[in-house]
Chain A
Amino acid sequence: MSESKLKRVDLIFGEYSSVKFKVLADTLKRSNEDILEDLTESGLKGRGGAGFPTAIKWKYAAETPSKEKYVICNADEGEPGTFKDREILTRVPRKVFSGMAICGKVIGAQKGFIYLRGEYQFLMPELKRELEQYNEHMSKMGFDFPIEIVLGSGAYICGEESALFESMEGYRGEPRNKPPFPTTYGYMGKPTVINNVETFVNVVMIMRLGPIQFKLLGTSDSRGSKVFSVSGDTPIPGIYELELGMPLEKFVEEFGDGDTKAVQVGGAAGFCVPRKKFTETVIGFEGVPTGGSMMLFNSSRSMYNVLHNYLEFFEEESCGQCTPCRVGCQQLRKGIVAVKKGDKQSLYLDQLMKLAESMKISAKCGLGQSVANSFSSIVYNFREEMIY
C-alpha cells in the first residue's frame, strides 16, 4: 500500500538554510543573465493559477526601461478552497522575501510590496517582525530593497493583478483592460512583476538546488512540486506538497473517503471532475490546472447546492464593471433555481450553458471568463441533479 502513495515533497516548507538568508546572499552575487538562465531552464510556471512562465515575465520587466519598477507578491488568496499562501507566509516568510528581492535585482526594481488579503490581518505582527530581520540583513549585505505590506479589505477580485494595482493606488478594485500588461504598465503605471507567494518561494528553491534538480520533480509540462490545499469530504484535510502531473485517480485514492463523487480542481473558478473521469484526468498545466485548491465531494452532496454556492460567490464578488459578468452571474444563479423549482424546463440548462460560454469570450477579466469552467462542468456531468 505505502509504495503506491503519492510522493511527498519537502521543497517549499523545507528548512531554511543553516546560515540566515544564505541563498539570497549567494544569488545577489550572481549576474542577472545567469539567474534568468536558471529560471528559464527550470521551466517554472506561476503558481497563482494561470501558469505563466516566470522567467519570461521577469525578462519582459527587466527589458522595459524605467527608473521606477516594482515587485509585488500576490497574497490575496481568495479562491474558495485555497489556504496554502497563508501557510507559506506563516511558516517560511523569509523565503518569500528572498524571492522578491531576487526579482528586484533582476528587473531593477527599487521596492517590493506584499498585498495581503484583509482576512489575513492577524498575520501582520509576525510578518512585520520577520521583515525587520530581513531589512537588517539586507542593509548588512549592502543591498537596498525594502518590502512593505499592503492590506486588502475583503474583495476577491483584488487578487486579479490589475485590480490589485487599482486597489493599491486607492481606487475601487476594478480590473483594467489588457494589454498593456503589468510588465510594461503595472502599479502606478510602472513596469511591475506580480507573482504568487508560492512562485517566489519556488524561485528561491531553484536558486538553492539548481534547475536540474528542480526539474526532476513533476512532468515536462508541469515542472516542480506544488502546494495543494485539500478540503471537503476527506479524512485528511490540510496542506500537502506533491509533484505536479499526477493522475487524479491516485489523488482520490489517497485523499478521498472511499465515496468520492467529484473533485473540484482549482476552486470555484476551476473545473469539477466527476468520478468517471478520474482515471483520464491529470493535475497540472497539461491537464486540469490548479492554483492548489482541491475540494472533494462525496455522494451525500448535492451538486446543485455546490453550484448554487459558487454562483452566489461569483455574484457577490463580481466587481460589476462589465455587463456579461455582472448580469450573467445573476442570471445563471436565478436560472438554475428556476429549473430546480420547475418554473423552467430542463432544456433551459442548455441556454444557461450558452450564456456561460459567451461570458468566457465577452467578460473583461478572469473572474467572469472562468465562471463557465465550473458551471458547464457541473451542469454537463450532473444534469439530473440540477433538475430533480
Chain B
Amino acid sequence: MTANEHLIRDLVEKHGTNRTALIPILQGVVETKNFISDTDMTEIAKELDLSAAQVFGTATFYSFLSTEPLGKYVIRVCKTITCDMHGKRTIIQTIEEMLKIKVGETTPNKKFSLLETNCLGWCHEGPAMLINEKPFTGLTHERVHDIISDYISKL
C-alpha cells in the first residue's frame, strides 16, 4: 500500500463508509497533504462505494477542499468589504513581495500558497487572514512581515 492509500484507509476507519463520512474524510486528506488528488478521489470513491464523479462533485464545491496542490502553509487573506477598507491590499502586497508569488500561486519550494477568501468573521479587527486554520488579525505591513518571517524561520 502507498502512503496515500494508508492515509485514506485510516480516515475511512475513523469516519466510516456512510455518505456523511465523505466530507470529514476529504477534510482529513487536506489536513495531511493540503490537497486532494485524482487518485485520492478514486480511492475514496472505492472505499465509500460511490462513483469518482460524486466525490469530485462534492470536493470541488467547497473552497477549503482544494483539488489543486497547495503549499504546506496556505495563507488566506480576507478580501471582503471591511478588511478591504482597512488595508487588505497592503497586506497582500507585503506577502507577495516577501514570498515572490502572486495571489493564487504557490512558492517553488511548495511551502506557501497565497489565496484570497471571503469574510473570516474578524471584521472588527481587520484586515484578517488565516494561515492554515490559525487566524491573524489587526494586520499591518510590519505585523504581517513579522508573522511571515516567523513561519519562514520555522521551515
Residues of A within 8 A of B (CB): 77-83, 85-86, 117-122, 151-156, 167-174, 229-233, 237-239, 264, 268, 295, 297, 301, 305-306, 309-310, 313, 316-317, 319
Contact = CB atoms under 8 A, between A and B. Distances in A.
A170 B22 contact: yes
Nearest to A316: B118
- How many interface residues does chain B have, given as a range? 35 or more
Given A80-B82, A237-B123, 12 more contacts: A80-B81, A80-B118, A80-B123, A86-B121, A122-B135, A153-B23, A153-B62, A154-B62, A171-B58, A232-B81, A305-B84, A316-B118
Given A230-B124, A301-B85, A80 B80 contact: yes
A230 B122 CA distance: 11
A239 B124 contact: yes
Nearest to A172: B61
Given A81-B81, A153-B62, A153-B63, A167 B23 contact: yes
Given A122-B133, A232-B85, A154 B117 contact: yes
A154 B63 contact: yes
The interface residues of chain A, by DSSP majority, are classed as mixed
Contact of B82 (A171, A232, A239): A232
Interface string B110-144: 00000001111111111000100111000000000
Contacts of A316: 118
A78 B118 contact: yes
B23 A83 contact: no
A80 B126 CA distance: 12
A296 to B, nearest CB: 9
Contacts of B130: 119
A170 B23 contact: yes
Contacts of B133: 121-122
B119 A80 contact: yes
A179 to B, nearest CB: 24
A172 B120 contact: no
B121 A117 contact: yes
Contacts of A297: 85
A162 to B, nearest CB: 15
A156 B117 CA distance: 11
A313 B20 CA distance: 28
